[in-house]
Structure 1
Amino acid sequence: MAVAELTLSSKNYSSWSLRGWLLCRLAGLEVAEKLIALDDPENRAELLLLSPSVLVPRLTHEGASVWDTLAIAEYLHELYPQAGMYPADRIARAHCRSVSGEIHSGFANLRSALPMNLKVRHARFPIFSGAKADIERIETIWAECLDSHGGPWLFGKAPTVADAMFAPVAQRFLTYAVPVSQTTAAYCQTINDWSLMREWIKAARAEPEEMAELEVEF
């Protein structure tokens, strides 16, 4: 029986819900999923990427209510340090926290230009110039991490908080056929082949088509 509840929104469109769910799975915490209505105002704000700090995802566990993905990551790491959510090495751990914080708070142009949608694949997609700097920065982050720690994950042989935070970005690059380096493409494939990612994608593709109006607003 699950000892915790994770409140989520759309699995197809919500990058923040994906991050929270991946973090719980990395920690080994069994959660009961609670899906909120797609027409809920706070859920709509989250789906429209207006803020990474709305109350979805929200982890409820043993009297604690934790929202915001990085807060969830720190909470779970505190409870389950043996899960390896952060690298064991102090310098690598600081690096992991830094890049996770960067994706958490930045890259607004990328978010608006390439909204998450796991049901589609575009062979070609126009990317406005404002998003290109974000893409270049993400490629730099990934290359530095993979070069420093040997891959295939950003911090070595196992996924960490950073991989959970960047997983939706990798999926965006695949969805919109973003032209990227071989290193970036290989990392995107690592994320796409991740068993947890495949489980989430399967559920996302089974989700009812209720968001047609939303797609127009991006």
Structure 2
Amino acid sequence: CGQLVCETKVAIVHPDTLTRCAEDEVGEIWVSDPSMAQGYWQRPEATEETFGAYIKDTGEGPFLRTGDLGFLKDGELFINGRLKDLIIIRGTNHYPQDIEWTVQHFNSVFRPDYGAAFSITDEGEEKLVVVQEMERRTGDLDTEKLLGDIRQEIAEEHEIQTHAIVLAKSGTILKTASGKIQRRACRQNFLDGTINTVAVWSENPELVAKFE
């Protein structure tokens, strides 16, 4: 987050309707700047979509669609996360980092900053999955109680039901070189059943069976 540079124009836009968001409202960050790149080499369609965006209700543009989510407040830009990581279940947006924070801060056996929340399509619906690393030394654990506590915490804090939870061994969650959680890679590992687990729970027994 921070103050905007004078020559940089920033708009917060609804990514679906392409209309401008109100102040304090979270949307996709669009940027216009004289030093901005002109597009992708020999990829005209991708260039137009990413570098040639116009706000639908005002006609302002062109803007670069950054793919980041954020909001403006008192002239400062605050970044919430990536649009591609946004969890949308039954028409409601949920930010994965908020769910991850809830899980990691209610019990010290969970390793901070080493969890991933994402959605999968199961039985024709988008459903929430949480993968959370455990601390290396936790002693004897009642994993069944921990799994139930996670479901309860998420339901109370975010009003959403959890479809599957994986308690993973330390060193499981992948990160980028800059330390960001690789949620899409974690999602793929979950679907493949390749996560090194301590315990697994799901409403769908077929998902649990992948880890047996």
- Normalised to the residue count of structure 1, the TM-score between the two structures is 0.23
Q: Which has the higher strand share?
A: 2
**TM-score, scaled to structure 2:** 0.23
Give the helix-richer structure, 1 or 2: 1
Larger Rg: 2
Using CA pairs under 8 Å that are at least 6 residues apart, name the structure with larger relative contact order, 1 or 2: 1
